[in-house]
């Protein structure tokens, strides 16, 4: 396998890339990624990729434009160097929230990103917890869509007593994800309604479900400014919840989001290292690694084996 597979990393999250490569059982291959004096990105592969199965690990969070351009150029370089197949490993897929036209004269940026990846030469995409699973349909190439739920559920099972668990969807859009967590955790289910007053301000105004005396777990695919989570947590506490935690897959958090979480009723945030962790100070955050999940997926893709066992989370079991 080592003679036929190459795993490269962009600059987005090298610590995660190194863990993924270790799980596969090989070191990261060497690529030089630099900048020309005018700021343009320079990529050189320092070892042959001719006829190889190339995996490029590059989440596109925090500075999405920079990291997306890096990924496109790395893909083009691999294609022109005669790689056999190129898989973009994107634990976090930027622009996923712009998946439809909510009003006139706006783009569908998620579709544009899909087009750019295909045009650059990507043959396959490996990603995790897309904001909208329908984005898989934007591609005319295979997309392997993994879920972090089994990883987060294992932690929550140990942390929260089974007889007192209550999963809370922070908005109606997250109800399907919350239902999956409810089944996996043998928990109750509640839902908060929200009204977004601006890009960073959210008001939670209604809660459906009895959370009194419960240990509540807010679940979502991602948080940036933490407005939705903080508002839902406040409402849940007002309705008598004993404790409130939040479990989110991706955390491209801003300083405003960190401050908001510190001031919120959320006593612990559980997330993954899909995006390189930020400086959280003394806030109680638990970061679980997705390296094993992605590493196992890479091994299965390379061997042309089924990846489905890694993302079947709706069958009442974790893998």
271 vs 248: CA distance, rounded Å: 5
**Neighbour-count burial of 282, counting CB atoms closer than 10 A to its CB (0-12 exposed, 13-18 middle, 19+ buried):** exposed
β-strand pairing of 85-90 with 143-146: unpaired
Q: Which residues are catalytic, by number?
A: 194
């Amino acid at each position: 396998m080592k003679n036929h597979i190459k795993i490269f990393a962009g600059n987005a999250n090298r610590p995660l890339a190194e863990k993924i490569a270790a799980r596969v059982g090989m070191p990261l291959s060497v690529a030089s990624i630099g900048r020309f004096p005018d700021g343009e990105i320079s990529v050189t592969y320092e070892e042959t990729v001719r006829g190889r199965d190339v995996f490029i690990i590059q989440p596109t969070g925090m500075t999405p434009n920079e990291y997306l351009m890096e990924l496109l150029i790395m893909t083009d370089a691999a294609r022109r160097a005669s790689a056999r197949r190129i898989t973009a490993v994107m634990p976090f897929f930027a622009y996923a929230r712009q998946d439809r036209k909510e009003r006139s004269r706006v783009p569908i940026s998620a579709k544009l990103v899909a087009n750019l990846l295909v045009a650059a030469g990507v043959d396959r995409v490996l990603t995790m917890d897309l904001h909208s699973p329908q984005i898989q349909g934007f591609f005319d190439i295979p997309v392997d869509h993994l879920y972090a739920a089994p990883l987060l559920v294992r932690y929550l099972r140990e942390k929260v007593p089974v007889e007192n668990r209550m999963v809370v969807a922070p908005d109606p859009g997250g109800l399907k994800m919350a239902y999956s967590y409810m089944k996996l955790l043998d928990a109750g289910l509640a839902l908060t309604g929200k009204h977004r007053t601006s890009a960073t301000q959210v008001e939670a105004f209604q809660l459906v479900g009895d959370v009194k005396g419960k240990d509540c777990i807010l679940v979502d695919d991602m948080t940036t400014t933490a407005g939705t989570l903080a508002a839902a947590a406040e409402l849940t506490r007002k309705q008598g919840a004993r404790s409130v935690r939040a479990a989110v897959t991706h955390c491209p958090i801003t300083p405003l989001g960190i401050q908001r979480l510190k001031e919120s009723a959320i006593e612990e945030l559980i997330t993954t290292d899909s995006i390189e962790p930020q400086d959280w100070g003394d806030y109680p955050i638990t970061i679980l690694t997705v390296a094993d999940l992605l590493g196992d997926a890479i091994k299965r893709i390379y061997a042309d084996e089924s990846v489905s066992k890694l993302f079947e989370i709706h069958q009442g079991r974790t893998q």
